[in-house]
Amino acid sequence: MPLRRLRALGLTLDDVAFAVRQSSLELSAGKVSTGGEEILVRTLGQNYNQADFEDIIVLTRSDGTSVRLGDIATVRDGFADTDLDVRYNGQRAVRVDVYRTSGEQVLDIVAAIKNYLAADVVPSLPEGVSVELWKDDAEQVSGRLGLMIKNALLGLLLVFGALALFLEIRLAMWVAVGLAVSFLGTFLVMGFLNISINMFSMMALVLALGIVVDDAIVVGESVFAERERDARGLEAAIDGAFDVRSNLDDGFRELQLELKPRARSLNLTLDHFAARVRSVFFGAEALRVPRGREDMRVYVRLPEEERNSATDVERYLVRTPGDEVPLGQVASAGFARSSAAIHRVDGRRAVTVTADVDPRSATSQQVNASLESDVLAQLTARNPGLVYTYGGQRKDQEEAIAVLGRSLVLALLIMYGLMAIPFGSYSQLLIIMTAVPLGAIGALAGHMLLGLSWGLWSLYGLIGVLFATLLLMLVVPALVMSQYNLADWRESRRLGCA
């Protein structure tokens, strides 16, 4: 709504917003009770579309003629103005996020999305518009699935080779079949319970794979040992059971207005002045109209060409109870910087700096070490009040290490107590428990040989290795003790018969 039209009619933006608000209403008026029924009474007049708002009467003259909103203003039904600019690879973009429900498979959803894009979306796009996939979680799931399959085949080969080489090939075949059946059964149960294949289930399967492979070797060796003692098969089986980003910005240039003492003599209050300036440059909200699941806001404002420069502020005439005066006579204006956002952590102002590590150049550990020694040390030296903490993957690693340390100590104590009862020896248990640090050393050596960086998933894998080692520490002595007990039982039967 141009300012010249408002002045010609003696109106302000707030006056127009009030007229729009008063002419767009739907209100219940109660009910009328008759002898046979109750009749609801409702006043209708809610405006919903562009034509409805254009027909609103803003001003009625003394001669009976009316001024409608569509006569003096341009009514536009569109989207709200926003400063958000989304870009992808330097090009303007629109981001669409697709999420799955708890019962859906990640890989199936991604395949359906790709098919939909290729068949329906891409052919209908105008020239110069394209679609790209970004942050595809299915890549991580596929990677874990590939890792699990690779580890399963490698473990199956190692188990089969070890048992066939040192024991017998028929036993190796049965153990290999048992490993395959166990994982097939796992997928069948997951499908029956509607458990999806995701990052957590894949990680659990990878950890369980190591435990099952270790147990298969131990159980197979125990079965072979019992068969060597002429034990029946069933009995033997029972005994064997880069881009760095920061949220710190320079903010926006801000034109700050302060009311002068002269404004008081004109009966111009601060709230009245602030409301008038806001209605001119931001817009006066007339009402909200429900549309679908959202509320559509209706604003009355000046055209963009009359509110897109600082000189427009200086030229604005402020209406006082007596007359209109230039803004510069009642307020002082000055430029300053305004923060776009103030971020705080534990009540203190904070700046968050994030970065992605290029694995081809360095590991996250090397980057953190260089950051702490070269950058953060200088910043804290120049700014004594500066305090920094780590977040993201570094924080997750520190928390995982703390949990790992507490859980490992507790598990070692429990295992030591459980094995001390049947073993009857404390010194021999200490020798057996040296397998725990050896397992951790093996995991570290494997990372070094394969050139892998030590990350959060590595810690989770290490936890699985250590608990698998602890499980074997509990199973192997039990098998050894059961074999000795079986041998003593047979020897006592032989002596009894003699």
Alpha helices in 60-198 (DSSP H): 69-72, 106-116, 137-166, 169-192
157 located within any domain: no
**Helices 456-497, 233-240: inter-axial angle, 10-degree rounding:** 130
250 located within any domain: no
Same domain, 459 and 378: no
What pLDDT is stored for residue 417 in this prediction? 75
What pLDDT is stored for residue 423 in this prediction? 64
Distance from C-alpha of 35 to C-alpha of 255, rounded to nearest angstrom? 66
Residue 3 or 204, more confident: 3
Spatial CB neighbours of 381, under 8 Å, sequence gap ≥ 6: none
Residue 16 or 392, more confident: 16
Distance from C-alpha of 267 to C-alpha of 261, rounded to nearest angstrom? 11
What pLDDT is stored for residue 237 in this prediction? 44
Domains held by the chain: number? 3
User: Kind of pairing, strands 331-338 and 252-259?
Assistant: antiparallel
Residue range 298-307: mean pLDDT, rounded? 84
472: nearest Cα among 216, 92, 182, 112: 216
71 located within any domain: yes
Given the structure tokens 């250590």, which residue do they identify?
466
The first and second tokens of residue 43, run together, are: 């006043």
Same domain, 489 and 404: yes
Same domain, 320 and 302: yes
Domain of 56, CATH number, reads: 3.30.2090.10
For the cut 50, the answer to whether the pLDDT of residue 231 exceeds it is no
Residue-wise pLDDT tens digits, 239-296: 644 666 777 766 677 788 888 888 877 888 888 888 888 888 888 888 888 887 888 8
Given the structure tokens 């996250």, which residue do they identify?
364
Share of the chain above pLDDT 90, in %: 0
Same domain, 9 and 21: yes
Spatial CB neighbours of 297, under 8 Å, sequence gap ≥ 6: 80, 285, 288
Provide φ and ψ at 20, rounded to 5°: -65, -40
Beta strands in 293-404 (DSSP E): 294-300, 317-319, 324-326, 331-338, 344-345, 348-349, 353-354
246 located within any domain: no
Element (H, E) at 87: strand 87-88
Residue 26 or 249, more confident: 26
Compute the chain's Rg from CA coordinates: 38
What pLDDT is stored for residue 12 in this prediction? 85
150 located within any domain: no
145: nearest Cα among 181, 199, 208: 199
Residue-wise pLDDT tens digits, 262-272: 887 788 888 88
Same domain, 329 and 274: yes
**Helices 435-450, 456-497: inter-axial angle, 10-degree rounding:** 140
57 located within any domain: yes
Residue range 221-246: mean pLDDT, rounded? 58
Residue-wise pLDDT tens digits, 37-63: 877 777 778 888 888 888 888 888 888
Distance from C-alpha of 152 to C-alpha of 148, rounded to nearest angstrom? 6
Given the structure tokens 């608000």, which residue do they identify?
21
281: nearest Cα among 301, 258, 300: 301
Same domain, 417 and 488: yes
Provide φ and ψ at 198, rounded to 5°: -140, -170
Residue-wise pLDDT tens digits, 75-120: 888 877 776 777 888 888 888 888 777 667 777 788 888 888 888 8
**CB 451 within 8 Å of CB 417:** no
Domain range enclosing 428? 392-498
> SS3 string of 210-240?
HHHHHHHHHHHHHHHHHHHCCCCHHHHHHHH
User: Kind of pairing, strands 284-291 and 245-246?
Assistant: unpaired
pLDDT band at 489 (very low <50, low <70, confident <90, very high): very low
Exposed e or buried b for every residue in 364-398, given b needs 16+ CB within 10 A?
Answer: beebbeebeeeeeeeeeeeeeeeeeeeeeebeebe
Residue-wise pLDDT tens digits, 133-183: 887 777 777 777 777 777 677 767 877 787 777 777 777 777 777 777 777
Same domain, 399 and 497: yes
**CB 313 within 8 Å of CB 255:** yes
How many Cα atoms are found within 13 Å in the side-chain-facing hemisphere of 188?
6
Distance from C-alpha of 459 to C-alpha of 464, rounded to nearest angstrom? 9
Same domain, 405 and 371: no
Same domain, 380 and 300: no
Spatial CB neighbours of 95, under 8 Å, sequence gap ≥ 6: 86, 88, 134
Distance from C-alpha of 43 to C-alpha of 144, rounded to nearest angstrom? 62
Same domain, 398 and 451: yes
Same domain, 326 and 417: no
Residue 121 or 338, more confident: 121
Mean residue pLDDT of the chain comes to: 75
133 located within any domain: no
User: Kind of pairing, strands 57-60 and 91-92?
Assistant: unpaired
Count of H helices and E strands in the chain?
Answer: 19, 16
DSSP 8-state symbol, 63 = T
Same domain, 396 and 498: yes
DSSP 8-state symbol, 309 = S
182 located within any domain: no
